[in-house]
Amino acid sequence: MRPAALLLDPPRHPRGVLSLSLPTVAACLRPAFAPRLLDLDFEPRADWERLLAADPEPALIGLKVSAQNLREAQALSLLARRVRPRAAVVWGGELPTLRPDLARGFAGCVVRGRFEARAEAFVADALAGRLRAEYDGTAAALVPPVPALDLVERPERYLSFLGAPLEASLGCSEHCTFCLVHAMQPAAREFGLERLRRDLEANPRAFASVVDYNLGDRPERLLSAARELGASALRGWTCEACLEALDDAEVLAALARARCRVVYCGLESVSEPALRSVAKTQNAVSEYRRVIARAQAAGLEIASGFILGLAGAGPDAADAFADFAQDAGLVYVKLTFLTFNPGTKALATMSERGRLLTEDPAAYDGLRPTWLPPGVEPEALYEQAARLVARVYSWPAIWRRSRRLAADPLRRAEFVLFARLFGESYRDWGRLAGPSPEGPRLLDAPYRKPARAAAAEALLRAVRRLRV
Ligand code: B12
Protein backbone atom coordinates (compact mmCIF):
# COMPACT_ATOMS: atom_id res chain seq x y z
CA MET A 1 0.00 0.00 0.00
CA ARG A 2 1.25 3.48 -0.82
CA PRO A 3 2.06 5.64 2.23
CA ALA A 4 -0.27 8.63 2.73
CA ALA A 5 0.78 12.20 1.93
CA LEU A 6 -1.28 15.11 3.23
CA LEU A 7 -0.97 18.30 1.15
CA LEU A 8 -2.20 21.45 2.85
CA ASP A 9 -3.23 24.76 1.30
CA PRO A 10 -3.37 27.41 4.06
CA PRO A 11 -5.89 30.29 3.79
CA ARG A 12 -5.20 32.93 1.13
CA HIS A 13 -6.68 35.87 -0.72
CA PRO A 14 -8.50 36.15 -3.09
CA ARG A 15 -10.52 33.52 -1.34
CA GLY A 16 -12.23 30.52 -2.88
CA VAL A 17 -9.85 30.35 -5.86
CA LEU A 18 -8.58 26.93 -6.84
CA SER A 19 -4.82 26.77 -7.26
CA LEU A 20 -2.89 24.32 -9.44
CA SER A 21 0.07 24.03 -7.09
CA LEU A 22 -0.96 21.10 -4.91
CA PRO A 23 -2.81 19.13 -7.64
CA THR A 24 0.49 19.31 -9.61
CA VAL A 25 2.53 18.20 -6.60
CA ALA A 26 -0.01 15.40 -5.99
CA ALA A 27 0.34 14.20 -9.59
CA CYS A 28 4.11 13.91 -9.10
CA LEU A 29 3.69 12.01 -5.83
CA ARG A 30 0.83 9.76 -6.88
CA PRO A 31 2.83 6.83 -8.27
CA ALA A 32 4.54 6.35 -4.87
CA PHE A 33 2.23 7.99 -2.33
CA ALA A 34 -1.51 8.25 -1.75
CA PRO A 35 -1.93 12.04 -1.67
CA ARG A 36 -4.85 13.88 -0.10
CA LEU A 37 -5.44 17.58 -0.77
CA LEU A 38 -6.76 19.47 2.22
CA ASP A 39 -7.71 23.09 1.62
CA LEU A 40 -7.65 24.78 5.00
CA ASP A 41 -9.20 27.93 3.57
CA PHE A 42 -12.53 26.15 4.10
CA GLU A 43 -11.78 24.70 7.54
CA PRO A 44 -12.27 26.51 10.86
CA ARG A 45 -8.98 26.85 12.72
CA ALA A 46 -10.42 24.99 15.67
CA ASP A 47 -10.63 21.89 13.44
CA TRP A 48 -7.09 21.94 12.07
CA GLU A 49 -5.68 19.73 14.81
CA ARG A 50 -8.45 17.15 14.37
CA LEU A 51 -7.89 17.12 10.60
CA LEU A 52 -4.18 16.53 11.02
CA ALA A 53 -4.86 13.71 13.48
CA ALA A 54 -7.43 11.98 11.23
CA ASP A 55 -6.55 8.61 9.64
CA PRO A 56 -4.62 7.54 7.69
CA GLU A 57 -1.36 8.59 9.29
CA PRO A 58 0.60 10.57 6.69
CA ALA A 59 4.26 9.88 6.03
CA LEU A 60 4.51 13.35 4.47
CA ILE A 61 2.79 16.62 5.30
CA GLY A 62 3.35 19.20 2.55
CA LEU A 63 2.38 22.87 2.75
CA LYS A 64 2.13 25.48 0.01
CA VAL A 65 3.50 28.62 1.62
CA SER A 66 3.20 32.19 0.42
CA ALA A 67 3.74 35.55 2.10
CA GLN A 68 -0.01 35.71 2.63
CA ASN A 69 0.00 32.75 4.97
CA LEU A 70 3.46 32.54 6.46
CA ARG A 71 2.03 32.86 9.99
CA GLU A 72 -0.54 30.11 9.34
CA ALA A 73 2.09 27.85 7.76
CA GLN A 74 4.33 28.24 10.78
CA ALA A 75 1.53 27.47 13.23
CA LEU A 76 0.35 24.51 11.15
CA SER A 77 3.84 23.08 10.89
CA LEU A 78 4.30 23.20 14.66
CA LEU A 79 0.90 21.56 15.06
CA ALA A 80 1.80 18.89 12.49
CA ARG A 81 5.03 18.10 14.28
CA ARG A 82 3.17 17.68 17.57
CA VAL A 83 0.20 15.69 16.24
CA ARG A 84 2.11 13.69 13.61
CA PRO A 85 5.67 13.40 14.96
CA ARG A 86 6.60 10.65 12.48
CA ALA A 87 5.62 12.62 9.37
CA ALA A 88 8.13 14.66 7.37
CA VAL A 89 6.94 18.28 7.15
CA VAL A 90 7.77 19.84 3.75
CA TRP A 91 7.34 23.41 2.52
CA GLY A 92 7.06 24.47 -1.10
CA GLY A 93 5.75 27.46 -3.05
CA GLU A 94 6.74 31.05 -3.68
CA LEU A 95 7.99 32.21 -0.30
CA PRO A 96 10.19 29.23 0.62
CA THR A 97 11.67 29.40 -2.88
CA LEU A 98 12.87 32.93 -2.20
CA ARG A 99 13.56 32.54 1.51
CA PRO A 100 14.14 28.88 2.41
CA ASP A 101 15.58 30.07 5.73
CA LEU A 102 12.03 30.93 6.87
CA ALA A 103 11.24 27.22 7.11
CA ARG A 104 13.94 26.62 9.70
CA GLY A 105 12.41 25.29 12.90
CA PHE A 106 9.10 24.59 11.14
CA ALA A 107 9.73 22.21 8.23
CA GLY A 108 12.39 19.55 7.85
CA CYS A 109 12.52 19.95 4.10
CA VAL A 110 12.03 22.77 1.60
CA VAL A 111 11.33 22.38 -2.10
CA ARG A 112 12.42 25.46 -4.05
CA GLY A 113 10.90 26.26 -7.43
CA ARG A 114 9.07 23.59 -9.39
CA PHE A 115 8.47 20.24 -7.75
CA GLU A 116 8.38 18.12 -10.90
CA ALA A 117 12.00 19.09 -11.53
CA ARG A 118 13.11 17.28 -8.36
CA ALA A 119 10.21 14.90 -7.76
CA GLU A 120 12.12 11.73 -8.66
CA ALA A 121 14.90 12.30 -6.13
CA PHE A 122 12.42 13.60 -3.57
CA VAL A 123 10.20 10.51 -3.82
CA ALA A 124 13.14 8.08 -3.63
CA ASP A 125 14.54 9.85 -0.56
CA ALA A 126 11.12 10.15 1.09
CA LEU A 127 10.44 6.42 0.66
CA ALA A 128 13.85 5.65 2.13
CA GLY A 129 13.05 7.96 5.07
CA ARG A 130 15.98 10.28 4.45
CA LEU A 131 14.70 13.48 2.93
CA ARG A 132 17.30 16.15 2.42
CA ALA A 133 16.83 19.63 3.89
CA GLU A 134 16.41 21.22 0.44
CA TYR A 135 15.51 20.25 -3.10
CA ASP A 136 16.08 22.95 -5.66
CA GLY A 137 13.86 22.79 -8.72
CA THR A 138 14.52 26.32 -9.92
CA ALA A 139 17.06 25.44 -12.62
CA ALA A 140 15.33 22.70 -14.63
CA ALA A 141 12.26 23.30 -16.79
CA LEU A 142 10.38 20.02 -17.09
CA VAL A 143 6.87 19.54 -18.41
CA PRO A 144 4.90 18.67 -15.27
CA PRO A 145 2.49 15.74 -15.16
CA VAL A 146 -1.15 16.62 -15.75
CA PRO A 147 -2.42 18.03 -12.42
CA ALA A 148 -4.52 15.70 -10.29
CA LEU A 149 -7.62 17.91 -10.25
CA ASP A 150 -9.65 14.75 -9.55
CA LEU A 151 -8.25 14.91 -5.99
CA VAL A 152 -9.77 18.33 -5.32
CA GLU A 153 -12.43 17.75 -2.68
CA ARG A 154 -15.86 19.34 -3.17
CA PRO A 155 -14.87 21.51 -6.15
CA GLU A 156 -18.22 23.32 -5.99
CA ARG A 157 -16.95 25.21 -2.92
CA TYR A 158 -14.56 27.16 -5.15
CA LEU A 159 -15.43 30.17 -7.26
CA SER A 160 -15.87 28.99 -10.84
CA PHE A 161 -16.28 32.21 -12.81
CA LEU A 162 -12.55 32.67 -13.46
CA GLY A 163 -12.33 29.18 -14.90
CA ALA A 164 -10.33 26.18 -13.76
CA PRO A 165 -6.60 26.78 -14.25
CA LEU A 166 -4.86 25.11 -17.18
CA GLU A 167 -1.08 25.53 -17.28
CA ALA A 168 0.59 25.55 -20.70
CA SER A 169 4.15 26.89 -20.26
CA LEU A 170 6.84 27.94 -17.80
CA GLY A 171 8.80 31.19 -17.57
CA CYS A 172 8.36 34.48 -19.38
CA SER A 173 10.34 36.30 -22.04
CA GLU A 174 9.82 39.72 -20.40
CA HIS A 175 11.80 41.00 -17.43
CA CYS A 176 9.50 43.24 -15.36
CA THR A 177 11.32 43.78 -12.07
CA PHE A 178 8.35 43.03 -9.78
CA CYS A 179 7.57 39.65 -11.28
CA LEU A 180 8.37 36.48 -9.39
CA VAL A 181 8.21 34.15 -12.34
CA HIS A 182 11.92 34.37 -13.14
CA ALA A 183 12.78 33.27 -9.62
CA MET A 184 10.38 30.30 -9.76
CA GLN A 185 10.82 29.41 -13.41
CA PRO A 186 14.03 30.94 -14.80
CA ALA A 187 13.91 28.83 -17.96
CA ALA A 188 10.98 29.12 -20.34
CA ARG A 189 9.33 25.99 -21.72
CA GLU A 190 6.18 25.42 -23.68
CA PHE A 191 4.31 22.26 -22.74
CA GLY A 192 3.09 21.59 -26.29
CA LEU A 193 -0.27 20.77 -27.78
CA GLU A 194 -0.27 17.08 -26.93
CA ARG A 195 0.14 17.91 -23.21
CA LEU A 196 -2.66 20.50 -23.48
CA ARG A 197 -4.93 17.86 -24.99
CA ARG A 198 -4.09 15.31 -22.28
CA ASP A 199 -4.81 17.85 -19.55
CA LEU A 200 -8.16 18.77 -21.09
CA GLU A 201 -9.10 15.10 -21.40
CA ALA A 202 -8.00 14.12 -17.88
CA ASN A 203 -9.52 17.21 -16.27
CA PRO A 204 -12.71 18.21 -18.08
CA ARG A 205 -13.42 21.87 -17.39
CA ALA A 206 -16.47 23.91 -18.34
CA PHE A 207 -14.43 27.13 -18.51
CA ALA A 208 -10.63 27.36 -18.33
CA SER A 209 -8.15 29.96 -17.27
CA VAL A 210 -5.01 29.37 -19.30
CA VAL A 211 -1.87 29.94 -17.21
CA ASP A 212 0.82 30.87 -19.73
CA TYR A 213 2.94 34.00 -19.85
CA ASN A 214 4.33 33.11 -23.27
CA LEU A 215 1.16 32.58 -25.24
CA GLY A 216 1.42 35.90 -27.05
CA ASP A 217 5.12 35.63 -27.88
CA ARG A 218 4.55 34.30 -31.39
CA PRO A 219 1.32 34.45 -33.41
CA GLU A 220 1.75 30.78 -34.49
CA ARG A 221 1.75 29.74 -30.83
CA LEU A 222 -1.43 31.67 -30.05
CA LEU A 223 -3.07 30.33 -33.19
CA SER A 224 -2.23 26.68 -32.50
CA ALA A 225 -3.27 26.90 -28.83
CA ALA A 226 -6.54 28.58 -29.87
CA ARG A 227 -7.21 25.79 -32.39
CA GLU A 228 -6.66 23.15 -29.72
CA LEU A 229 -8.81 24.92 -27.12
CA GLY A 230 -11.49 25.64 -29.68
CA ALA A 231 -11.68 21.96 -30.61
CA SER A 232 -12.16 20.96 -26.95
CA ALA A 233 -15.41 20.78 -25.01
CA LEU A 234 -14.68 24.06 -23.20
CA ARG A 235 -17.54 26.57 -23.16
CA GLY A 236 -15.01 29.34 -22.97
CA TRP A 237 -11.61 30.30 -21.67
CA THR A 238 -9.47 33.22 -20.62
CA CYS A 239 -5.76 33.80 -21.06
CA GLU A 240 -3.06 36.36 -20.56
CA ALA A 241 -1.11 38.09 -23.33
CA CYS A 242 0.65 41.36 -24.04
CA LEU A 243 -1.62 43.80 -25.83
CA GLU A 244 0.71 43.90 -28.80
CA ALA A 245 -0.06 40.23 -29.59
CA LEU A 246 -3.69 41.24 -30.12
CA ASP A 247 -2.91 43.76 -32.82
CA ASP A 248 -3.39 41.07 -35.46
CA ALA A 249 -6.63 40.32 -37.31
CA GLU A 250 -5.89 36.62 -37.74
CA VAL A 251 -5.10 36.14 -34.05
CA LEU A 252 -8.22 38.02 -32.95
CA ALA A 253 -10.48 36.04 -35.26
CA ALA A 254 -8.94 32.74 -34.09
CA LEU A 255 -9.35 33.64 -30.42
CA ALA A 256 -12.97 34.65 -30.87
CA ARG A 257 -13.74 31.52 -32.92
CA ALA A 258 -12.15 29.34 -30.23
CA ARG A 259 -14.47 30.88 -27.56
CA CYS A 260 -11.74 32.87 -25.82
CA ARG A 261 -13.78 35.33 -23.75
CA VAL A 262 -11.31 37.45 -21.80
CA VAL A 263 -7.67 38.34 -22.39
CA TYR A 264 -5.87 39.71 -19.36
CA CYS A 265 -3.15 42.23 -20.22
CA GLY A 266 -0.66 43.48 -17.67
CA LEU A 267 -1.11 47.13 -18.66
CA GLU A 268 -0.38 48.15 -15.04
CA SER A 269 -0.43 51.94 -15.57
CA VAL A 270 -1.21 54.67 -18.05
CA SER A 271 1.97 56.54 -17.13
CA GLU A 272 5.04 55.87 -19.29
CA PRO A 273 7.58 56.90 -16.59
CA ALA A 274 5.85 54.58 -14.12
CA LEU A 275 6.12 51.66 -16.54
CA ARG A 276 9.77 52.44 -17.23
CA SER A 277 10.47 52.38 -13.48
CA VAL A 278 9.77 48.62 -13.41
CA ALA A 279 11.29 47.81 -16.83
CA LYS A 280 7.85 47.24 -18.36
CA THR A 281 9.04 48.80 -21.58
CA GLN A 282 6.97 46.50 -23.79
CA ASN A 283 3.83 48.49 -22.94
CA ALA A 284 3.06 51.33 -25.36
CA VAL A 285 0.44 53.48 -23.61
CA SER A 286 -0.40 55.42 -26.76
CA GLU A 287 -1.54 52.16 -28.37
CA TYR A 288 -3.72 50.88 -25.48
CA ARG A 289 -7.03 52.33 -26.64
CA ARG A 290 -6.69 51.40 -30.29
CA VAL A 291 -5.70 47.76 -29.73
CA ILE A 292 -8.27 47.27 -26.95
CA ALA A 293 -11.04 48.60 -29.20
CA ARG A 294 -9.86 46.34 -32.00
CA ALA A 295 -9.91 43.24 -29.77
CA GLN A 296 -13.33 44.18 -28.39
CA ALA A 297 -14.69 44.63 -31.89
CA ALA A 298 -13.50 41.09 -32.65
CA GLY A 299 -15.58 39.76 -29.72
CA LEU A 300 -13.07 39.61 -26.86
CA GLU A 301 -13.12 41.35 -23.50
CA ILE A 302 -9.92 42.90 -22.20
CA ALA A 303 -8.97 42.94 -18.51
CA SER A 304 -5.93 44.51 -16.94
CA GLY A 305 -3.72 44.69 -13.93
CA PHE A 306 -3.05 47.99 -12.21
CA ILE A 307 -0.04 48.45 -9.97
CA LEU A 308 -0.20 51.01 -7.21
CA GLY A 309 2.92 52.72 -5.94
CA LEU A 310 5.00 52.86 -9.11
CA ALA A 311 7.69 55.57 -9.09
CA GLY A 312 6.74 58.50 -11.29
CA ALA A 313 3.05 57.57 -11.43
CA GLY A 314 1.93 60.69 -9.55
CA PRO A 315 -0.86 61.16 -6.98
CA ASP A 316 -3.65 60.70 -9.53
CA ALA A 317 -2.45 57.38 -10.93
CA ALA A 318 -5.44 55.37 -9.72
CA ASP A 319 -7.98 57.94 -10.90
CA ALA A 320 -6.26 58.10 -14.27
CA PHE A 321 -6.45 54.33 -14.53
CA ALA A 322 -10.08 54.22 -13.42
CA ASP A 323 -10.94 56.83 -16.09
CA PHE A 324 -9.09 54.75 -18.63
CA ALA A 325 -10.80 51.51 -17.54
CA GLN A 326 -14.23 53.15 -17.77
CA ASP A 327 -13.56 54.69 -21.17
CA ALA A 328 -11.90 51.66 -22.68
CA GLY A 329 -14.56 49.30 -21.27
CA LEU A 330 -12.18 46.95 -19.44
CA VAL A 331 -14.03 44.01 -17.97
CA TYR A 332 -12.01 43.99 -14.73
CA VAL A 333 -8.98 45.61 -13.16
CA LYS A 334 -6.75 43.57 -10.87
CA LEU A 335 -5.16 45.75 -8.24
CA THR A 336 -1.72 45.05 -6.75
CA PHE A 337 0.54 47.12 -4.57
CA LEU A 338 3.99 47.24 -6.11
CA THR A 339 5.94 44.49 -4.38
CA PHE A 340 9.58 43.62 -4.87
CA ASN A 341 9.78 40.10 -3.57
CA PRO A 342 11.80 39.27 -0.45
CA GLY A 343 15.11 37.63 -1.21
CA THR A 344 15.38 39.11 -4.74
CA LYS A 345 18.03 41.38 -6.22
CA ALA A 346 15.27 43.80 -7.25
CA LEU A 347 14.34 44.38 -3.61
CA ALA A 348 17.95 45.00 -2.64
CA THR A 349 18.36 47.55 -5.48
CA MET A 350 15.02 49.27 -4.92
CA SER A 351 15.52 49.65 -1.18
CA GLU A 352 18.17 52.25 -2.09
CA ARG A 353 15.83 54.06 -4.48
CA GLY A 354 12.84 54.39 -2.20
CA ARG A 355 11.54 53.64 1.28
CA LEU A 356 11.22 50.09 2.53
CA LEU A 357 8.29 50.04 4.97
CA THR A 358 8.99 46.67 6.52
CA GLU A 359 11.23 43.66 6.24
CA ASP A 360 8.56 41.30 7.59
CA PRO A 361 8.24 38.72 4.79
CA ALA A 362 4.57 38.17 5.67
CA ALA A 363 3.84 41.73 4.53
CA TYR A 364 5.02 41.01 0.97
CA ASP A 365 1.64 39.67 -0.08
CA GLY A 366 0.70 42.23 -2.74
CA LEU A 367 -2.14 43.48 -0.55
CA ARG A 368 -0.33 46.35 1.16
CA PRO A 369 2.58 48.61 0.26
CA THR A 370 6.05 47.46 1.31
CA TRP A 371 8.15 49.83 -0.80
CA LEU A 372 7.37 53.46 -1.54
CA PRO A 373 8.86 55.84 -4.07
CA PRO A 374 10.29 59.06 -2.60
CA GLY A 375 7.59 61.47 -1.42
CA VAL A 376 4.73 58.92 -1.37
CA GLU A 377 2.93 57.99 1.86
CA PRO A 378 1.15 54.66 2.40
CA GLU A 379 -2.13 56.37 3.39
CA ALA A 380 -2.26 58.05 0.00
CA LEU A 381 -1.95 54.68 -1.71
CA TYR A 382 -4.71 53.09 0.41
CA GLU A 383 -6.92 56.00 -0.45
CA GLN A 384 -6.18 55.60 -4.16
CA ALA A 385 -6.87 51.86 -3.94
CA ALA A 386 -10.22 52.37 -2.22
CA ARG A 387 -11.22 54.99 -4.80
CA LEU A 388 -10.27 52.75 -7.70
CA VAL A 389 -12.29 49.84 -6.30
CA ALA A 390 -15.32 52.08 -5.74
CA ARG A 391 -15.02 53.61 -9.19
CA VAL A 392 -14.55 50.34 -11.09
CA TYR A 393 -16.71 47.86 -9.19
CA SER A 394 -19.97 49.62 -8.34
CA TRP A 395 -22.98 48.35 -10.31
CA PRO A 396 -23.43 51.66 -12.15
CA ALA A 397 -19.73 51.73 -13.11
CA ILE A 398 -19.84 48.19 -14.48
CA TRP A 399 -23.06 48.91 -16.32
CA ARG A 400 -21.56 52.02 -17.89
CA ARG A 401 -18.41 50.13 -18.90
CA SER A 402 -20.52 47.58 -20.72
CA ARG A 403 -22.57 50.13 -22.67
CA ARG A 404 -20.91 49.31 -26.00
CA LEU A 405 -22.45 45.81 -25.72
CA ALA A 406 -26.03 47.09 -25.64
CA ALA A 407 -26.84 45.34 -28.91
CA ASP A 408 -25.65 41.96 -27.63
CA PRO A 409 -27.47 41.21 -24.36
CA LEU A 410 -25.83 37.83 -23.73
CA ARG A 411 -22.33 39.21 -24.16
CA ARG A 412 -23.27 42.15 -21.97
CA ALA A 413 -24.66 39.82 -19.29
CA GLU A 414 -21.42 37.81 -19.27
CA PHE A 415 -19.40 41.04 -18.99
CA VAL A 416 -21.47 42.40 -16.10
CA LEU A 417 -21.52 39.15 -14.13
CA PHE A 418 -17.80 38.51 -14.64
CA ALA A 419 -16.89 42.05 -13.60
CA ARG A 420 -19.13 41.95 -10.56
CA LEU A 421 -17.76 38.56 -9.44
CA PHE A 422 -14.20 39.79 -9.86
CA GLY A 423 -15.05 42.84 -7.77
CA GLU A 424 -16.35 40.59 -4.96
CA SER A 425 -12.79 39.88 -3.82
CA TYR A 426 -12.30 43.58 -3.14
CA ARG A 427 -15.24 43.74 -0.77
CA ASP A 428 -13.25 41.96 1.90
CA TRP A 429 -9.91 43.20 0.57
CA GLY A 430 -10.61 46.55 2.20
CA ARG A 431 -10.80 44.80 5.54
CA LEU A 432 -7.79 42.58 4.89
CA ALA A 433 -5.35 45.22 3.80
CA GLY A 434 -3.69 47.43 6.34
CA PRO A 435 -0.20 48.51 7.13
CA SER A 436 0.64 45.27 8.95
CA PRO A 437 -0.26 41.64 8.31
CA GLU A 438 -1.26 41.48 12.01
CA GLY A 439 -4.09 43.94 11.27
CA PRO A 440 -7.70 42.82 10.84
CA ARG A 441 -7.30 39.16 9.91
CA LEU A 442 -9.96 38.39 7.37
CA LEU A 443 -8.37 35.02 6.72
CA ASP A 444 -9.13 33.87 10.28
CA ALA A 445 -12.69 32.82 9.42
CA PRO A 446 -13.22 29.89 7.02
CA TYR A 447 -14.25 30.84 3.49
CA ARG A 448 -17.83 30.21 2.42
CA LYS A 449 -18.92 31.25 -1.03
CA PRO A 450 -21.39 34.10 -0.44
CA ALA A 451 -24.94 33.36 -1.64
CA ARG A 452 -24.81 36.38 -3.98
CA ALA A 453 -21.64 35.03 -5.62
CA ALA A 454 -23.17 31.56 -6.00
CA ALA A 455 -26.26 33.10 -7.61
CA ALA A 456 -24.15 35.25 -9.97
CA GLU A 457 -22.08 32.22 -10.94
CA ALA A 458 -25.21 30.15 -11.66
CA LEU A 459 -26.45 32.91 -13.95
CA LEU A 460 -23.05 33.23 -15.58
CA ARG A 461 -22.97 29.48 -16.28
CA ALA A 462 -26.37 29.73 -17.94
CA VAL A 463 -25.27 32.71 -20.04
CA ARG A 464 -22.08 30.91 -21.09
CA ARG A 465 -24.08 27.83 -22.13
CA LEU A 466 -26.34 30.04 -24.24
CA ARG A 467 -23.40 31.81 -25.89
CA VAL A 468 -21.74 28.61 -27.16
C1 B12 B 1 -3.13 31.89 -11.93
C2 B12 B 1 -2.50 32.92 -11.00
C3 B12 B 1 -3.34 33.64 -10.16
C4 B12 B 1 -4.83 33.37 -10.09
C5 B12 B 1 -5.10 32.15 -9.25
C6 B12 B 1 -4.21 32.07 -8.08
C7 B12 B 1 -4.17 30.72 -7.46
N8 B12 B 1 -4.51 30.65 -6.20
O9 B12 B 1 -3.83 29.77 -8.12
C10 B12 B 1 -5.36 34.69 -9.45
C11 B12 B 1 -5.80 35.61 -10.56
C12 B12 B 1 -6.51 34.57 -8.48
C13 B12 B 1 -4.09 35.21 -8.79
C14 B12 B 1 -4.10 36.10 -7.78
C15 B12 B 1 -2.95 36.58 -7.18
N16 B12 B 1 -1.70 36.43 -7.61
CO17 B12 B 1 -1.20 35.16 -8.95
N18 B12 B 1 -0.53 34.03 -10.25
C19 B12 B 1 -1.09 33.14 -10.99
C20 B12 B 1 -0.05 32.48 -11.89
C21 B12 B 1 -0.14 33.12 -13.27
C22 B12 B 1 -0.13 30.98 -12.03
C23 B12 B 1 -0.17 30.20 -10.73
C24 B12 B 1 -0.17 28.75 -11.07
O25 B12 B 1 -1.21 28.14 -11.26
N26 B12 B 1 1.01 28.15 -11.25
C27 B12 B 1 1.15 26.73 -11.55
C28 B12 B 1 1.56 25.94 -10.31
C29 B12 B 1 1.61 24.47 -10.64
O30 B12 B 1 2.86 26.40 -9.97
P31 B12 B 1 3.26 26.79 -8.48
O32 B12 B 1 2.13 27.38 -7.76
O33 B12 B 1 4.52 27.56 -8.53
O34 B12 B 1 3.57 25.35 -7.82
C35 B12 B 1 4.78 24.63 -8.07
C36 B12 B 1 5.93 24.99 -7.11
O37 B12 B 1 5.80 26.25 -6.51
C38 B12 B 1 5.96 23.89 -6.11
N39 B12 B 1 5.09 23.95 -4.95
C40 B12 B 1 4.08 24.77 -4.67
N41 B12 B 1 3.51 24.44 -3.50
C42 B12 B 1 4.15 23.39 -3.03
C43 B12 B 1 3.96 22.65 -1.87
C44 B12 B 1 4.78 21.55 -1.63
C45 B12 B 1 4.56 20.76 -0.41
C46 B12 B 1 5.80 21.21 -2.54
C47 B12 B 1 6.67 20.04 -2.30
C48 B12 B 1 6.00 21.96 -3.71
C49 B12 B 1 5.18 23.04 -3.94
O50 B12 B 1 5.56 22.78 -6.89
C51 B12 B 1 4.51 23.18 -7.78
C52 B12 B 1 4.58 22.31 -9.01
O53 B12 B 1 5.80 22.48 -9.66
C54 B12 B 1 1.27 32.84 -11.15
C55 B12 B 1 2.50 32.93 -12.04
C56 B12 B 1 2.99 31.55 -12.39
N57 B12 B 1 3.12 31.28 -13.65
O58 B12 B 1 3.20 30.69 -11.54
C59 B12 B 1 0.90 34.16 -10.47
C60 B12 B 1 1.53 34.50 -9.12
C61 B12 B 1 1.57 33.27 -8.26
N62 B12 B 1 0.60 35.46 -8.54
C63 B12 B 1 1.16 36.42 -7.90
C64 B12 B 1 0.46 37.46 -7.23
C65 B12 B 1 1.27 38.63 -6.76
C66 B12 B 1 -0.91 37.37 -7.03
C67 B12 B 1 -1.79 38.30 -6.19
C68 B12 B 1 -1.21 38.81 -4.87
C69 B12 B 1 -2.22 39.44 -7.09
C70 B12 B 1 -3.27 40.32 -6.43
N71 B12 B 1 -2.97 41.55 -6.36
O72 B12 B 1 -4.30 39.91 -6.01
C73 B12 B 1 -2.99 37.40 -5.96
C74 B12 B 1 -2.78 36.53 -4.76
C75 B12 B 1 -3.11 35.10 -5.03
C76 B12 B 1 -2.81 34.14 -3.93
N77 B12 B 1 -3.72 33.95 -3.03
O78 B12 B 1 -1.73 33.57 -3.86
C79 B12 B 1 2.66 36.30 -7.94
C80 B12 B 1 3.16 35.75 -6.62
C81 B12 B 1 4.10 36.69 -5.97
C82 B12 B 1 4.39 36.27 -4.55
N83 B12 B 1 5.24 37.00 -3.92
O84 B12 B 1 3.86 35.34 -3.99
C85 B12 B 1 2.88 35.32 -9.15
C86 B12 B 1 4.12 34.45 -9.08
C87 B12 B 1 2.90 36.22 -10.42
C88 B12 B 1 4.11 37.04 -10.61
N89 B12 B 1 4.18 37.50 -11.83
O90 B12 B 1 4.96 37.34 -9.82
N91 B12 B 1 -2.97 34.64 -9.33
Q: Whose CA is nearest to atom 32 of ligand 1?
A: 21
- Of 24, 131, 149, the one to substitute when testing ligand 1's pocket (max ligand atoms within 8 A of C-beta) is 24
Which pLDDT belongs to residue 433?
A: 59
- Of 180, 238, 331, the one to substitute when testing ligand 1's pocket (max ligand atoms within 8 A of C-beta) is 180
Verify whether ligand 1 is closer than 6 Å to residue 96 (CB atom).
no
Verify whether ligand 1 is closer than 6 Å to residue 326 (CB atom).
no
Which pLDDT belongs to residue 307?
A: 93
Q: What would the pLDDT profile of 213-239 be if each residue is shown by its tens digit?
A: 999 999 999 999 999 999 999 999 999
Q: Whose CA is nearest to atom 13 of ligand 1?
A: 14
pTM of the predicted structure, to 2 decimals: 0.96
Which pLDDT belongs to residue 32?
A: 98
Verify whether ligand 1 is closer than 6 Å to residue 115 (CB atom).
yes
Which pLDDT belongs to residue 439?
A: 61
All domains in the chain, ordered by first residue: 4-137 (3.40.50.2300), 159-467 (3.80.30.20)
Q: Whose CA is nearest to atom 89 of ligand 1?
A: 179
**Among the atoms of ligand 1, which is closest to the Cα of residue 147?**
29
Q: Whose CA is nearest to atom 67 of ligand 1?
A: 366
Q: What SS3 string covers the chain?
A: CCCEEEEEECCCCCCCCCCCHHHHHHHHHCCCCEEEEEEHHHCCHHHHHHHHHCCCCEEEEEEECCHHHHHHHHHHHHHHHHHCCCCEEEEECHHHHHCHHHHCCCCCEEEEECCCCCHHHHHHHHHCCCCCCEEEECCCCCCCCCCCHHHCCCHHHCCCCCCEEEECEECCCCCCCCCCHHHHCCCCEECCHHHHHHHHHHCCCCEEEEECCCCCCCHHHHHHHHHHHHHCCCCEEEEECCHHHHCCHHHHHHHHHCCEEEEEEEEECCCHHHHHCCCCCCCCHHHHHHHHHHHHHCCCEEEEEEEECCCCCCCCHHHHHHHHHHHHCCCCEEEEECCCCCCCHHHHHHHHHCEECCCCHHHCCCCCCCEECCCCCHHHHHHHHHHHHHHHHCHHHHHHHCHHHCCCHHHHHHHHHHHHHHHHHHHHHHHHCCCCCCCCCHHHCCCCCCHHHHHHHHHHHHHHHHHC
Q: Whose CA is nearest to atom 86 of ligand 1?
A: 180
Verify whether ligand 1 is closer than 6 Å to residue 184 (CB atom).
yes
- All residue ranges of the chain with pLDDT < 50 are none
CA of 452 from ligand 1 middle (Å) equals 26
Verify whether ligand 1 is closer than 6 Å to residue 180 (CB atom).
yes
Which pLDDT belongs to residue 351?
A: 82
**Among the atoms of ligand 1, which is closest to the Cα of residue 366?**
68
Which pLDDT belongs to residue 349?
A: 85
**Among the atoms of ligand 1, which is closest to the Cα of residue 90?**
45
CA of 111 from ligand 1 middle (Å) equals 15
